Chain A
Amino acid sequence: MVMNAITPIRTPAEQALIGAFGALRDSGPASAALEGLRIDGFSRFEASGLPHRRVEDWKYTDLRALMREARPLAGAPDASVLLAAKVAVGRLPRVGGSRIVLVDGFHAPDLADGGALPEGVTVSDLAAAMAQRPEISALVTGQPATRANIAFALNNAFLTEGLLIEVAPGTELGHALDLVSITSDGAPRLVTSRIVVVVGAGASAGIVETHLGPAGVEYQKNVVMQVVVRDGATLEHGRRQIEGDQALHLATLEASVGAEAHFDSLTLTTGAAVSRSQLFVRFAGEHSNVTLRGVSMLKGRQHADTALVMEHAVPHCQSRETFKHILDGEAHGVFQGKIIVQPVAQKTDGRMMSQTIMLAEGPSMDNKPELEIFADDVACAHGCTCGELDADLMFYLKARGIPHKEAEALLVEAFAREAIEDFGGGPLAVVEELREAMLTSVTEWMRART
């Protein structure tokens, strides 16, 4: 986007973000490692402001309009906040092995649960690791496409702490890591968190993120996860976004997948008033495969956007993207997906599908499934459908005595199941647990409809 030479008029939210950055800077220096990131992120934000509908990538999620105010930055939680968080997190059924908890974006080791970390897994401070290991620094800086993204830039600008999770080469985890990120009750704030996951060569791991927070509070959350799946490794990644109903949730997942590696990611979205899930995934080694999937169930006036860029930068890789939207009320769903095949990426096999079911007259859905192909020996496809539940199928079920609402629920579950069903494939017990948890959420969501 070419920017005008004219100084743009700052919205109140932009002014608040600029102010917050100044205050953060004045409050004392960040570690040297984070300082560079912060300045880079802030200058990118300052140059372009919040993205709006004239910025192509944000065409359907006009952040300038949707983010009217910027909340003050969340500080490290005190004892009472931690206690309240402990109670809330305790109510959440575990879907994996060891639980790692973040409160308001800060690591809360005291809230860890489910026993000690399994052998081969280490959790450490990101800034410290960046200072000592240039490869971690480089990784945190991000790929060019991610760096150009404003949500990512804002995450950099307000980064005070990060977490590095490493799985040693060859490790095989029996259970996934259960990562819970909770926002505390009280005055609404802006939460920023950063997690880097490195799965060593030949290792096999799973990680499940759950994002939640209080209802009725207009808190804002900007989370970034950067993943490296090294050669021959496998990572199953699950994500549940069940934020409070007034929340604004921006999530970025960046992944780099090595040779003969496997990455499978499933996102379930039911929470937040406004949310955007961004995925930037790149093949870095040959003969690998990636599956990206998502189910978004939205009601009322919820807005949820999935924006993904799948980049085939090397030959012989396979990617599958399957996204489902179930829309009720006056909800607004957005899917923007792009498969890029670089000139060298011959023998690429990529398939992207976005499907939507509307359960009421009010919702709207915007789809933009893009292909950008520079190599000739490839097979790429995308598909997109949008409509209401099939009247014939409904009739069939009702003719067999199934009440209208149940018939609807059955069809919706079957629709969502397509994306969830074959998730994983790794040896992890948690994959099954997560799959079940996701399907239960679908059922409960349908049941809660009035």
Chain B
Amino acid sequence: MPAVQETVEQVRAIDIDQYKYGFSTDIEMELAPKGLSEDIVRYISARKNEPAWMLEWRLDAYRRWLTMREPDWARVDYPQIDFQDMYYYAAPKSNAAPKSLDEIDPAILETYKKLGIPLREQEILAGVAPENRIAVDAVFDSVSVVTTFKEELKKSGVIFSSISEALHEHPELVKKYIGSVVPTTDNYYATLNAAVFSDGSFVYIPPGVRCPMELSTYFRINEQKTGQFERTLIIADKGSYVSYLEGCTAPMRDENQLHAAVVELIAHDDAEIKYSTVQNWYPGDSQGKGGIYNFVTKRGDCRGARSKISWTQVETGSAITWKYPSCILRGDDSQGEFYSIAVSNGAQQVDSGTKMIHLGKNTRSRIISKGISAGRSQNTYRGLVSAHRRATNAKNFTNCDSLLIGNACGAHTVPYIESKTASAVFEHEATTSKVSEDQMFYCMQRGLTQEEAIALIVNGFVKDVLQQLPMEFMVEAQKLIAISLEGSVG
């Protein structure tokens, strides 16, 4: 495997305590007053100049949130979050509706440059074949600073913008779909998000259109003491196709910051959405100080017949991860897929998995989940596969494997498999093992060092998932895995 050498070099060069994206950008920000109240909800809505119905929707969610209890069922442990001790809105001051990149604060541009995210279309164009181009929506703290290739996408009828913009330009679409997959009543963090979400991406692919390029959103938390609450809404109309990538990073800080996002996907008849995430929020230091709390609700609705939604995620960051990208297989013959690699190291806690809810006939789903725990981390796969009585001939295959490196970590599997129809065929398998001594011996006997051998074996272990990632992310993901495993040789 040619990529392995690359990962090995990453292992050598980078230590877990040297999170590569840990810098912060000094920039003048506009912050909402600290804390959470109806006034803050009104403030956010007003800042975004939202229609009245949107404010009502938010307030309704906020009032409901006040009556809810924080969930405690996940295998994660963290001190009580003080929801009054953070800022719910933080926007760069200079970002008063920039018309072009030239109007954006150079410090922000510099930030994205440092992160390796291309925002200048002409830079991307140079030397890149058209089909390999990526359109980016860059979200900086609470606001979207720029969305690239909008004009070109418009030519195909594709709408790709920040959700705030979509609220003004396509209110009918937003109103029709928002909250239709993850209702405001869904869960504690989704309800909180509905009340205070500040930005995010909106994608609409018209019937029969194959989106001409990959779409992506890059989330960056920069300001201290802020929470990031973004909301992404992707609609693939009949017979359309879109591939969407999501990346995220944050500065290294001693405090914990909250990220509570909601992602809703809707696939109509014959449409396909491929959603890939490389989650690399700051994980905290090796002692567990600092890091992002990543409490995210992601759900796709295969609303139409023969529709398909595919989730791929590479999870290496965050102090705590609580996320279960799910598929509601409502349309007959629809398909759901979930490919995940969750790597935890240091004091990280991961509780992640998926739900495949089979409602329609002949629906199919596949789950491949690989968990790797090292250091003192706890890594849990939690998943649900269910077949409704009418979901005849539903099929699921689940494979969730865990790999432990070192003897201070934990790997756990909590699957729920619920079938209410005889013709549904469910298969589930899970294994847990450690990097075997035999494999290590074999590799090292051929001259590999211990780190190289581990990197090689681990990359083999996660290969099934990495192959699902778009090319650009595959390389990135391999590097990430190597970084997270550094220092884990036991």
Residues of chain A at the chain B interface (Cβ within 8 Å): 2, 56, 343, 346, 356, 358-388
Residues of chain A within 8 A (CB-CB) of B431 are 379-381
Q: For the A-B complex with A371-B411, A381-B430, A384-B429 known, give 17 more contacts whose Cβ atoms are closer than 8 Å.
A: A358-B421, A361-B423, A362-B422, A364-B418, A364-B420, A368-B417, A369-B417, A371-B412, A377-B434, A382-B413, A383-B427, A383-B430, A385-B427, A386-B417, A386-B424, A386-B425, A387-B426
Residue of B nearest to A357 (CB): B422
Which among B405, B415, B490 has the greatest number of chain A C-beta atoms within 10 A? B415
Chain B residues with CB below 8 A from A384, complex form: 415, 417, 426-429
A373 and B429 contact, Cβ closer than 8 Å, known pairs A364-B420, A378-B434? no
**How far, in angstroms, from A359 to B409 measured CA to CA in the complex?**
43
A318 to chain B, nearest CB (A): 15
Q: Closest residue to A381 on the B side, CB-wise?
A: B431
Closest chain A residue to B379 by CB distance?
A373
The answer on a CB contact under 8 Å between A366 and B430 is no
Contact status of A360 and B429, CB under 8 A, knowing A56-B73, A382-B413: no
Task: Assess whether A373 is in contact with B411, with CB atoms less than 8 Å apart.
Answer: yes
- Contact-residue size bin, chain B (C-beta under 8 Å from the other chain): 35 or more
The smallest beta-carbon distance between B239 and chain A, in angstroms, is 32
Measured CA separation A271–B404 after assembly (Å): 42
Q: How many angstroms between the C-alpha atoms of A21 and B478 in the bound complex?
A: 63
By CB atoms of chain B within 10 A, which of A360, A364, A373 has the most? Answer: A373
Is the Cβ of B430 less than 8 Å from the Cβ of A368? no
Across-interface contacts of B420 in A (CB, < 8 A): 364
Measured between beta carbons, the chain A residues less than 8 angstroms from B421 are 358, 361
A358 to B431, CA, bound (A): 26
In the bound complex, how far is the Cα of B409 from the Cα of A388, in angstroms?
Answer: 39
Given the known interface contacts A376-B409, A384-B428, A386-B426, the answer about A370 and B419 at a Cβ–Cβ threshold of 8 Å is no
**CB within 8 Å for A365 and B418 given contacts A343-B407, A376-B409:** yes
The CA of A367 and the CA of B412, in the complex, are separated in Å by 16
- Taken together as a complex, chains A and B put the C-alpha atoms of A77 and B197 apart, in Å, by 68
Instruction: Determine whether the beta carbon of A373 is less than 8 Å from that of B422.
Output: no
Assembly CA distance A383 to B415 (angstroms)? 10
User: Does B419 lie within 8 Å of A368, measured CB to CB?
Assistant: no
Q: Is B171 an interface residue (CB 8 A)?
A: no
Give complex CA distance A179, B73 in Å: 41
Q: What is the CA–CA distance of A386 and B416 in the complex, to the nearest angstrom?
A: 12
CA distance A374 to B380 in the complex (A): 11
When distances are taken between beta carbons in the complex, the residues of chain B under 8 Å from A388 are 422-423, 425
Contact with A368, one of B72, B404, B414 (Cβ below 8 angstroms): B414
Give the chain A neighbours of B432 by CB distance below 8 A. 371, 373, 378-381
What are 20 contact pairs spanning A and B, CB under 8 A? A343-B407, A356-B419, A359-B422, A361-B421, A364-B418, A365-B419, A366-B417, A366-B418, A368-B414, A368-B417, A373-B411, A373-B412, A377-B407, A379-B432, A381-B430, A381-B431, A382-B429, A383-B427, A383-B430, A387-B422
Binary A-proximity of B324-339 (CB < 8 A = 1, otherwise 0): 0000000000000000
CB neighbours of B422 from chain A (8 A): 358-363, 387-388
Q: How far is the CB of A145 from chain B (nearest CB, A)?
A: 16
Report the minimum CB–CB distance from A350 to chain B (whole Å): 9
Minimal Cβ-Cβ distance residue in B for A379: B433
Determine if B434 and A376 form an interchain contact, defined as CB atoms under 8 angstroms apart: yes
CB of B434 within 8 A of CB of A368, answer: no
Specify which of A343, A356, A370 lies most central, judged by the most chain B CB atoms within 10 Å of its CB: A370
Q: Bound state CA distance, A2 and B72, in angstroms? A: 9
B490 touches A367 (CB 8 A): no
B424 A373 Cβ-Cβ under 8 A: no
A368 and B385 alpha carbons, distance in the complex (Å): 10
- In the complex, are the beta carbons of B417 and A371 less than 8 A apart? no
Q: How far is the CB of A243 from chain B (nearest CB, A)?
A: 26
Least CB distance, A376 to chain B, in whole angstroms: 4
Closest 5 pairs (CB-CB, A-B) = A358-B422, A376-B404, A367-B417, A387-B425, A384-B428
Q: Which residues in B have their C-beta under 8 angstroms from that of A374? A: 409-410
Asked whether B413 lies within 8 Å of A385 as measured between CB atoms, the reply is no
B417 to chain A: which residues have CB within 8 Å? 365-369, 384, 386
CA separation between A255 and B422, bound complex, in Å? 35
What residue of chain B has the Cβ atom nearest to residue A332's Cβ?
A: B420
Asked whether A371 lies within 8 Å of B430 as measured between CB atoms, the reply is yes
Interchain CA distance A406-B419 in the complex, whole Å? 26
**Is B35 an interface residue, CB under 8 A from the partner?**
no
Given A376-B490, A382-B413, the answer on whether A369 and B428 have CB atoms closer than 8 Å is yes
* CA–CA, A371 and B423, complex, Å: 27
Is residue B402 contacting chain A, with contact meaning CB distance below 8 A?
yes
Q: Check B430–A385 contact: CB distance below 8 A.
A: no
User: Please, which residue of chain B has its CB at the minimum distance from the CB of A364?
Assistant: B420
Q: B70-92: which residues lie under 8 A (CB-CB) from chain A? A: 72-73
Closest B residue to A59 using CB positions: B416
CB closest chain-B residue, reference A389: B422
For residue A407, give the distance in angstroms from its CB to the closest CB of chain B: 16
- Distance, CA A373 to CA B406, complexed state (A): 12
List the A side residues contacting B404 at CB < 8 Å: 373, 375-376, 378
How far does the Cβ of A203 sit from chain B's closest Cβ, in whole Å? 34
Which of B407, B413, B415, B418 meets A376, CB within 8 Å? B407
A361 to B422, CA, bound (A): 5
Query: Given A56-B73, A376-B409, A386-B425, A368–B415 Cβ distance below 8 Å?
Result: yes
Q: B47-64 interface mask toward A, CB cutoff 8 Å, 1 = contact, 0 = none?
A: 000000000000000000
Q: List residues of chain B with CB within 8 A of the CB of A2.
A: 72
A-contacting residues, B313-333, CB 8 Å? none
A373 touches B410 (CB 8 A): yes
**Is B405's CB under 8 angstroms from A385's CB?**
no
Instruction: Give Cα distance in the complex from A369 to B427, angstroms.
Output: 12
Inter-chain CA distance A363–B421, complex, in Å, is 7
